[in-house]
Protein backbone atom coordinates (compact mmCIF):
# COMPACT_ATOMS: atom_id res chain seq x y z
CA UNK A 1 0.00 0.00 0.00
CA UNK A 2 1.42 3.40 -1.02
CA UNK A 3 0.82 6.06 1.65
CA UNK A 4 -0.85 9.34 0.74
CA UNK A 5 1.86 11.92 0.15
CA UNK A 6 1.19 15.62 0.81
CA UNK A 7 1.32 17.77 -2.29
CA UNK A 8 4.26 19.83 -3.49
CA UNK A 9 5.87 21.94 -2.05
CA UNK A 10 5.14 20.46 1.39
CA UNK A 11 6.61 17.25 0.03
CA UNK A 12 9.82 17.51 -1.95
CA UNK A 13 11.00 13.93 -2.45
CA UNK A 14 14.32 15.20 -3.77
CA UNK A 15 15.22 16.43 -0.26
CA UNK A 16 16.26 12.91 0.71
CA UNK A 17 18.40 12.54 -2.41
CA UNK A 18 20.35 15.74 -1.92
CA UNK A 19 23.57 14.37 -0.38
CA UNK A 20 25.31 10.99 -0.08
CA UNK A 21 24.60 10.99 3.66
CA UNK A 22 20.86 11.53 3.18
CA UNK A 23 20.72 8.92 0.43
CA UNK A 24 22.46 6.42 2.71
CA UNK A 25 20.07 7.13 5.58
CA UNK A 26 17.01 6.55 3.41
CA UNK A 27 18.27 3.60 1.36
CA UNK A 28 15.82 0.69 1.59
CA UNK A 29 18.02 -2.11 0.25
CA UNK A 30 21.76 -2.60 0.59
CA UNK A 31 24.31 -5.08 -0.70
CA UNK A 32 27.05 -6.48 1.51
CA UNK A 33 29.80 -9.04 1.05
CA UNK A 34 27.67 -11.41 3.17
CA UNK A 35 25.28 -11.67 0.20
CA UNK A 36 27.83 -13.20 -2.18
CA UNK A 37 28.49 -16.79 -3.24
CA UNK A 38 31.37 -17.21 -5.69
CA UNK A 39 31.07 -19.95 -8.37
CA UNK A 40 34.44 -21.40 -9.43
CA UNK A 41 35.52 -24.01 -11.99
CA UNK A 42 38.00 -26.75 -11.13
CA UNK A 43 40.02 -28.70 -13.68
CA UNK A 44 42.56 -31.50 -13.65
CA UNK A 45 46.29 -30.78 -13.34
CA UNK A 46 48.55 -28.87 -10.98
CA UNK A 47 49.39 -25.20 -10.46
CA UNK A 48 47.58 -24.08 -13.58
CA UNK A 49 44.60 -22.07 -14.73
CA UNK A 50 43.03 -21.35 -18.10
CA UNK A 51 40.58 -18.62 -19.09
CA UNK A 52 37.01 -19.38 -20.13
CA UNK A 53 36.81 -17.59 -23.48
CA UNK A 54 33.10 -16.82 -23.30
CA UNK A 55 33.34 -15.50 -19.71
CA UNK A 56 35.97 -12.74 -19.58
CA UNK A 57 37.80 -12.73 -16.27
CA UNK A 58 36.65 -16.24 -15.28
CA UNK A 59 39.22 -19.03 -14.99
CA UNK A 60 39.28 -22.79 -14.75
CA UNK A 61 41.70 -23.64 -11.94
CA UNK A 62 43.47 -26.76 -10.75
CA UNK A 63 42.67 -27.96 -7.23
CA UNK A 64 45.67 -26.20 -5.66
CA UNK A 65 44.76 -22.94 -7.40
CA UNK A 66 41.13 -23.36 -6.26
CA UNK A 67 42.36 -23.61 -2.67
CA UNK A 68 44.37 -20.40 -3.09
CA UNK A 69 41.34 -18.68 -4.61
CA UNK A 70 39.26 -19.76 -1.62
CA UNK A 71 41.78 -18.15 0.72
CA UNK A 72 41.41 -14.87 -1.22
CA UNK A 73 37.62 -15.12 -1.01
CA UNK A 74 37.75 -15.86 2.71
CA UNK A 75 40.05 -12.90 3.32
CA UNK A 76 37.57 -10.66 1.50
CA UNK A 77 34.77 -11.89 3.76
CA UNK A 78 32.88 -13.85 1.08
CA UNK A 79 30.90 -16.46 3.02
CA UNK A 80 30.65 -19.25 0.44
CA UNK A 81 32.30 -20.66 -2.66
CA UNK A 82 30.57 -23.02 -5.10
CA UNK A 83 32.49 -25.68 -7.05
CA UNK A 84 31.82 -26.80 -10.62
CA UNK A 85 34.10 -29.35 -12.33
CA UNK A 86 35.40 -29.12 -15.88
CA UNK A 87 35.36 -32.57 -17.47
CA UNK A 88 36.66 -33.33 -20.95
CA UNK A 89 34.81 -35.67 -23.30
CA UNK A 90 37.39 -38.42 -22.69
CA UNK A 91 36.35 -38.61 -19.00
CA UNK A 92 32.58 -38.73 -19.63
CA UNK A 93 30.67 -42.00 -19.58
CA UNK A 94 27.11 -43.26 -19.94
CA UNK A 95 27.08 -44.55 -16.34
CA UNK A 96 28.41 -41.23 -14.92
CA UNK A 97 30.26 -43.18 -12.21
CA UNK A 98 32.82 -40.42 -11.72
CA UNK A 99 30.03 -38.27 -10.24
CA UNK A 100 30.20 -40.10 -6.91
CA UNK A 101 33.87 -41.07 -6.94
CA UNK A 102 35.39 -39.90 -3.62
CA UNK A 103 38.43 -38.63 -5.51
CA UNK A 104 36.75 -36.76 -8.36
CA UNK A 105 37.70 -33.14 -8.94
CA UNK A 106 34.84 -31.72 -6.88
CA UNK A 107 35.60 -33.86 -3.84
CA UNK A 108 39.32 -33.13 -4.08
CA UNK A 109 38.51 -29.41 -4.22
CA UNK A 110 36.18 -29.63 -1.22
CA UNK A 111 38.92 -31.14 0.92
CA UNK A 112 41.55 -28.69 -0.34
CA UNK A 113 39.34 -25.67 0.39
CA UNK A 114 38.41 -26.91 3.85
CA UNK A 115 42.11 -27.31 4.64
CA UNK A 116 43.17 -23.95 3.21
CA UNK A 117 40.18 -21.74 4.11
CA UNK A 118 38.24 -23.44 6.91
CA UNK A 119 35.99 -20.45 7.59
CA UNK A 120 34.42 -20.32 4.14
CA UNK A 121 31.38 -22.49 3.40
CA UNK A 122 31.83 -24.92 0.51
CA UNK A 123 28.87 -25.42 -1.80
CA UNK A 124 28.68 -28.05 -4.51
CA UNK A 125 26.64 -28.86 -7.58
CA UNK A 126 24.60 -32.05 -7.79
CA UNK A 127 23.74 -33.05 -11.36
CA UNK A 128 25.15 -35.59 -13.79
CA UNK A 129 25.90 -33.24 -16.68
CA UNK A 130 29.65 -32.78 -15.97
CA UNK A 131 30.11 -36.55 -16.15
CA UNK A 132 27.49 -37.60 -18.70
CA UNK A 133 28.56 -38.44 -22.25
CA UNK A 134 25.20 -36.98 -23.34
CA UNK A 135 25.67 -33.71 -21.44
CA UNK A 136 22.35 -34.12 -19.63
CA UNK A 137 21.65 -33.74 -15.92
CA UNK A 138 20.19 -37.25 -15.81
CA UNK A 139 20.59 -40.65 -17.41
CA UNK A 140 19.37 -40.94 -20.99
CA UNK A 141 17.48 -44.11 -21.94
CA UNK A 142 16.00 -44.43 -25.44
CA UNK A 143 16.15 -40.67 -25.84
CA UNK A 144 14.38 -39.97 -22.54
CA UNK A 145 15.97 -38.38 -19.47
CA UNK A 146 14.80 -40.84 -16.83
CA UNK A 147 13.90 -39.59 -13.38
CA UNK A 148 14.04 -42.31 -10.73
CA UNK A 149 17.29 -43.97 -11.78
CA UNK A 150 18.87 -40.52 -11.94
CA UNK A 151 17.72 -39.72 -8.40
CA UNK A 152 19.47 -42.86 -7.13
CA UNK A 153 22.71 -41.62 -8.70
CA UNK A 154 22.24 -38.11 -7.31
CA UNK A 155 21.91 -39.55 -3.81
CA UNK A 156 25.27 -41.30 -4.19
CA UNK A 157 26.78 -38.07 -5.49
CA UNK A 158 25.39 -36.11 -2.52
CA UNK A 159 26.74 -38.58 0.02
CA UNK A 160 30.21 -38.51 -1.55
CA UNK A 161 30.25 -34.71 -1.37
CA UNK A 162 29.02 -34.69 2.21
CA UNK A 163 31.69 -37.25 3.14
CA UNK A 164 34.30 -34.95 1.57
CA UNK A 165 33.19 -32.11 3.83
CA UNK A 166 30.75 -30.03 1.79
CA UNK A 167 28.67 -27.59 3.82
CA UNK A 168 25.96 -26.87 1.24
CA UNK A 169 24.66 -29.23 -1.42
CA UNK A 170 23.12 -27.66 -4.53
CA UNK A 171 20.92 -30.10 -6.47
CA UNK A 172 20.58 -28.41 -9.86
CA UNK A 173 19.19 -31.33 -11.86
CA UNK A 174 15.41 -30.62 -11.55
CA UNK A 175 14.49 -34.31 -11.18
CA UNK A 176 11.30 -34.98 -9.23
CA UNK A 177 11.80 -36.26 -5.69
CA UNK A 178 15.52 -35.70 -5.44
CA UNK A 179 15.43 -33.35 -2.44
CA UNK A 180 13.54 -35.82 -0.27
CA UNK A 181 15.77 -38.71 -1.34
CA UNK A 182 18.96 -36.75 -0.65
CA UNK A 183 17.71 -35.48 2.70
CA UNK A 184 16.78 -38.96 3.93
CA UNK A 185 20.13 -40.35 2.76
CA UNK A 186 22.02 -37.58 4.56
CA UNK A 187 20.11 -38.25 7.76
CA UNK A 188 20.73 -41.97 7.48
CA UNK A 189 24.46 -41.40 6.99
CA UNK A 190 24.74 -39.07 9.98
CA UNK A 191 25.13 -35.89 7.92
CA UNK A 192 22.46 -34.10 9.95
CA UNK A 193 23.97 -30.64 9.55
CA UNK A 194 24.63 -30.60 5.81
CA UNK A 195 22.36 -27.99 4.25
CA UNK A 196 20.56 -28.19 0.93
CA UNK A 197 20.24 -25.15 -1.32
CA UNK A 198 17.81 -26.45 -3.90
CA UNK A 199 17.75 -25.15 -7.45
CA UNK A 200 13.99 -25.22 -7.01
CA UNK A 201 12.96 -22.97 -9.90
CA UNK A 202 15.51 -23.57 -12.64
CA UNK A 203 14.32 -22.50 -16.06
CA UNK A 204 15.22 -23.98 -19.45
CA UNK A 205 17.12 -20.84 -20.35
CA UNK A 206 19.29 -19.70 -23.25
CA UNK A 207 21.48 -17.83 -20.74
CA UNK A 208 23.48 -20.93 -19.74
CA UNK A 209 25.65 -21.17 -22.84
CA UNK A 210 28.96 -19.83 -21.49
CA UNK A 211 28.65 -22.02 -18.37
CA UNK A 212 28.40 -25.10 -20.56
CA UNK A 213 31.64 -24.01 -22.21
CA UNK A 214 33.23 -23.63 -18.78
CA UNK A 215 32.38 -27.17 -17.66
CA UNK A 216 32.97 -28.79 -21.05
CA UNK A 217 29.32 -29.67 -21.66
CA UNK A 218 28.66 -27.71 -24.85
CA UNK A 219 30.06 -30.34 -27.18
CA UNK A 220 28.50 -33.18 -25.18
CA UNK A 221 24.91 -31.97 -24.99
CA UNK A 222 22.45 -33.72 -27.30
CA UNK A 223 19.05 -32.11 -27.65
CA UNK A 224 17.82 -29.72 -24.95
CA UNK A 225 16.76 -29.79 -21.30
CA UNK A 226 13.15 -28.70 -21.68
CA UNK A 227 11.66 -31.94 -20.33
CA UNK A 228 13.10 -31.32 -16.87
CA UNK A 229 13.95 -27.62 -16.59
CA UNK A 230 11.07 -25.14 -16.34
CA UNK A 231 9.24 -23.43 -19.19
CA UNK A 232 10.18 -19.71 -19.15
CA UNK A 233 6.50 -18.78 -19.45
CA UNK A 234 5.51 -20.29 -16.09
CA UNK A 235 5.21 -18.57 -12.72
CA UNK A 236 2.78 -20.67 -10.65
CA UNK A 237 4.80 -23.82 -11.34
CA UNK A 238 7.84 -22.19 -9.75
CA UNK A 239 5.91 -21.69 -6.51
CA UNK A 240 4.73 -25.31 -6.57
CA UNK A 241 8.30 -26.51 -7.04
CA UNK A 242 9.58 -24.36 -4.18
CA UNK A 243 6.80 -25.61 -1.89
CA UNK A 244 7.61 -29.21 -2.78
CA UNK A 245 11.35 -28.87 -2.21
CA UNK A 246 10.83 -27.16 1.14
CA UNK A 247 8.45 -29.93 2.20
CA UNK A 248 11.07 -32.52 1.19
CA UNK A 249 13.82 -30.96 3.31
CA UNK A 250 15.48 -28.09 1.44
CA UNK A 251 16.89 -25.43 3.78
CA UNK A 252 17.21 -22.76 1.10
CA UNK A 253 15.89 -22.31 -2.42
CA UNK A 254 17.24 -20.79 -5.61
CA UNK A 255 15.82 -19.17 -8.73
CA UNK A 256 17.92 -19.57 -11.89
CA UNK A 257 18.64 -17.55 -14.03
CA UNK A 258 18.59 -14.34 -12.06
CA UNK A 259 17.94 -11.03 -13.78
CA UNK A 260 15.31 -12.28 -16.29
CA UNK A 261 13.42 -13.90 -13.38
CA UNK A 262 13.48 -11.27 -10.63
CA UNK A 263 9.68 -11.41 -10.53
CA UNK A 264 9.96 -15.07 -9.51
CA UNK A 265 12.47 -14.19 -6.79
CA UNK A 266 10.04 -11.66 -5.33
CA UNK A 267 7.10 -14.06 -5.43
CA UNK A 268 9.10 -16.85 -3.80
CA UNK A 269 10.30 -14.59 -0.99
CA UNK A 270 6.88 -13.06 -0.38
CA UNK A 271 5.11 -16.41 -0.48
CA UNK A 272 7.41 -18.55 1.64
CA UNK A 273 9.66 -16.20 3.64
CA UNK A 274 12.56 -18.64 3.43
CA UNK A 275 16.22 -18.02 2.54
CA UNK A 276 15.97 -17.24 -1.17
CA UNK A 277 18.87 -17.03 -3.61
CA UNK A 278 19.37 -16.32 -7.28
CA UNK A 279 22.12 -17.24 -9.70
CA UNK A 280 23.42 -14.44 -11.89
CA UNK A 281 24.25 -16.94 -14.58
CA UNK A 282 27.01 -17.05 -17.15
CA UNK A 283 25.01 -15.44 -19.96
CA UNK A 284 24.07 -12.48 -17.77
CA UNK A 285 27.71 -12.07 -16.75
CA UNK A 286 29.00 -12.45 -20.32
CA UNK A 287 26.57 -9.86 -21.70
CA UNK A 288 27.66 -7.26 -19.18
CA UNK A 289 31.34 -8.06 -19.64
CA UNK A 290 31.04 -7.71 -23.41
CA UNK A 291 29.52 -4.26 -23.05
CA UNK A 292 32.03 -3.30 -20.34
CA UNK A 293 35.01 -4.38 -22.46
CA UNK A 294 33.66 -2.40 -25.40
CA UNK A 295 33.45 0.69 -23.22
CA UNK A 296 29.67 0.87 -23.55
CA UNK A 297 29.00 0.46 -19.82
CA UNK A 298 30.79 1.44 -16.62
CA UNK A 299 31.89 -1.90 -15.18
CA UNK A 300 31.77 -1.23 -11.46
CA UNK A 301 28.51 0.68 -11.66
CA UNK A 302 26.58 -1.93 -13.66
CA UNK A 303 28.03 -4.73 -11.55
CA UNK A 304 26.83 -3.18 -8.32
CA UNK A 305 23.50 -2.03 -9.75
CA UNK A 306 22.74 -5.51 -11.08
CA UNK A 307 23.58 -7.15 -7.75
CA UNK A 308 21.51 -4.64 -5.80
CA UNK A 309 18.58 -5.53 -8.05
CA UNK A 310 18.60 -9.05 -6.59
CA UNK A 311 18.38 -7.66 -3.08
CA UNK A 312 15.51 -5.37 -4.07
CA UNK A 313 13.71 -8.42 -5.49
CA UNK A 314 13.90 -10.13 -2.10
CA UNK A 315 16.99 -12.31 -2.47
CA UNK A 316 19.05 -13.14 0.60
CA UNK A 317 22.11 -13.79 -1.53
CA UNK A 318 23.44 -14.12 -5.07
CA UNK A 319 25.69 -16.59 -6.82
CA UNK A 320 27.75 -14.33 -9.05
CA UNK A 321 30.99 -14.45 -11.02
CA UNK A 322 31.46 -10.84 -9.93
CA UNK A 323 31.87 -11.91 -6.29
CA UNK A 324 35.57 -11.10 -5.93
CA UNK A 325 35.30 -7.75 -7.73
CA UNK A 326 32.15 -6.83 -5.80
CA UNK A 327 33.75 -7.74 -2.48
CA UNK A 328 36.77 -5.55 -3.25
CA UNK A 329 34.46 -2.71 -4.23
CA UNK A 330 32.49 -3.04 -1.00
CA UNK A 331 35.71 -3.02 1.01
CA UNK A 332 36.61 0.33 -0.54
The catalytic residues are 202, 256
CA distance 91 to 102: 15
State the number of CA atoms in the 13 A half-sphere of 232 facing the CB. 11
CA distance 304 to 298: 10
CA distance 314 to 317: 9
Instruction: Spell 89-104 as b/e; 16+ CB within 10 A means b.
Output: eebbeeebebbbeeeb
Phi, psi (rounded to 5 degrees) for 168: -130, 125
DSSP strand pairing (36-43 vs 80-85): parallel
Task: Please give the C-alpha separations between residue 37 and each of 32, 70, 80, 321, 327, in angstroms, as whole numbers.
Answer: 11, 11, 5, 9, 10
Cα distance from N-terminal residue to C-terminal residue, the chain: 37
Residue 240 CB coordination number (10 Å) = 12
DSSP character for 185? H
Q: Is 96 left (phi over 0), alpha (psi -120 to 50) or beta?
A: left
Element (H, E) at 320: strand 317-320
CA distance 65 to 271: 41
Amino acid sequence: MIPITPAFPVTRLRRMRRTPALRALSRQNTLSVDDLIWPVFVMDGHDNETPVASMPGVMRRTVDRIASAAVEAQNLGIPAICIFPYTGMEARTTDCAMAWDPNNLTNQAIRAIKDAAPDIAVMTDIALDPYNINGHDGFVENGEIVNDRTVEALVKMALAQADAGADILGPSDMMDGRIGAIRMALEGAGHHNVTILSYAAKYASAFYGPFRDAVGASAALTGDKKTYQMDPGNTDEALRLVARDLAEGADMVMVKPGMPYLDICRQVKDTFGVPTYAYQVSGEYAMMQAAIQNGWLDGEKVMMESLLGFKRAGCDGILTYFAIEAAKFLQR
